[in-house]
Structure 1
Amino acid sequence: IDSSGRFNDVVTRFVVACVLEAFTYLHTQGIIYRDLKPENLLLNDRGYVKLCDFGFAKRIGLNKKTWTFCGTPEYVAPEIILNKGHDHSADYWSLGILIFELLTGSPPFTGSDPMKIYNVVLRGIDAIEFSPIHINRTAATLIKRLCAQNPTQRLGYGLGGIIDIKQNKYFQGFDWIGLHRGTLVAPIQPTISGPDDVSNFDKYPEKVENPPDELSGWDADF
């Protein structure tokens, strides 16, 4: 997304669909993810999106809550900020934030420091301006339903669960069966020479640090 600036609906729909498949498995196992963001999405050799970094994931069981404060500020749900206890609905909130960022290139809630971001989050998604150039009405409606301030009112929280999200108008015509079977062609095809090709990853200089000599003499009497 850094190089593209933003994605169109075709790419966004595919990325979000892959995330929903992952959430379906995690949530049925009683696991909440809690760290959805573009940096934690990887493409495999066929362009399918995979979740990575499960450092904040937690098994809470079904119909249970947890009170641990964690997550990336721009993606943290209001109930986490207010320490009201949260469950899998916090993942649906972050999914709405992800859709917004994929379509526009930046998350809806931003600020110069985490506290300022949290204050903006608590004002709610309705206080955010949606650009009709980047976000069509169907996408905007989906985002707002996923980012309802009340966790129990979010799309996906009802009896239908994630199926309710998959059946949203934004995914009309999407080949869910093809995605599940792995036969659907991904809109972004990574260029790689083989399974060991890491050329698409960012390159960092190798850090080689020699520890300084200990000359304080603290051990002279040993």
Structure 2
Amino acid sequence: LEHLHTLGIVHRDLKPENVLLFPSASKSEEDVAPPLAKLADFGWCAELTETGRHTFCGTMDYLSPEMVNRQPHDHRVDTWAAGVLLYEMLVGAPPFAARSASEQLRRILAAEFCP
């Protein structure tokens, strides 16, 4: 993700299905390396411009407030999605889950996450 951002590219669809884990080569049985994470599905990737991007895209659970509001956005939307992904890993559910899409968008904008 950092490499994409260094190249001026934003992923815009960071979610569990797009993070692939591969076993790392361990030097010995005692020195077990953590898995290697790689990103997949670059269909929504975009090159950043000086004015940012305005496209509403991605997966609802991981949308940032600026994407919901169709405001200019940059690499920080990926940082938001990474935070949502980490929350989901720790809690076991996405933070802004709701019964309807409109309610979920409202919860994202209000930063009203599920405890």
Q: TM-score, normalised by structure 1?
A: 0.45
TM-superposed CA distance for 1:128, in Å, is 2.9
Post-superposition CA distance 1:123-164 (Å, at most 9, x none): 11xx3354xxxxxxxxxxxxxxxxxxxxxxxxxxxxxxxxxx
SS of equivalent residue, structure 2 residue 88: helix
Say how many residue pairs are matched: 105
Q: Residues 191-218 of structure 1, C-alpha deviation per residue, up to 9 Å, x if partnerless?
A: xxxxxxxxxxxxxxxxxxxxxxxxxxxx
Aligned equivalents of 1:29, 1:91: Cα separation in 2: 14
What is the root-mean-square deviation in Å for CA atoms of aligned residues? 1.4
Unaligned runs of 5+ in 2: 25-34
> How far has the Cα of 1:78 moved from its partner?
0.5
Which residue in 2 is equivalent to 1:101? 88
Identity %: 39
User: Which of 26, 37, 44 in structure 2 is aligned with 1:49?
Assistant: 37
The aligned residue for residue 7 of structure 2 is 29
What is the CA deviation profile of residues 94-129 of structure 1, one whole-angstrom value per residue up to 9, with x for unaligned ones?
Answer: 1110110010111100112322210110111xx335
Question: Partner residue of 2:79?
Answer: 92
Distance 1:117 1:48 in 2: 32
In 2, the alpha carbon distance for the partners of 1:81 and 1:121 equals: 8
Are the counterparts in 1 of residues 97 and 114 from structure 2 also a CA contact under 8 Å?
A: no
Q: Check the 8 A contact 2:61/2:94 in 1, yes or no.
A: yes
5 Å-filtered alignment, 1:53-68, equals: 53-61=41-49, 63-68=50-55
- The structure whose residues are more often strand, as a share, is 2
Q: Structure 2 CA distance, aligned partners of 1:128 and 1:35?
A: 20
Cα distance in 2 between the residues matched to 1:59 and 1:94: 18
Query: Which structure would you say has the larger Rg?
Result: 1
Q: Specify every segment of 5 or more residues in structure 1 that has no aligned partner in the other structure, as ranges.
A: 1-22, 131-222
Partner of 2:59: 72
Q: Whose RCO is larger (CA < 8 A, sep 6+)? A: 2
- Whole-angstrom distance in 1 between the partners of 2:43 and 2:17: 13
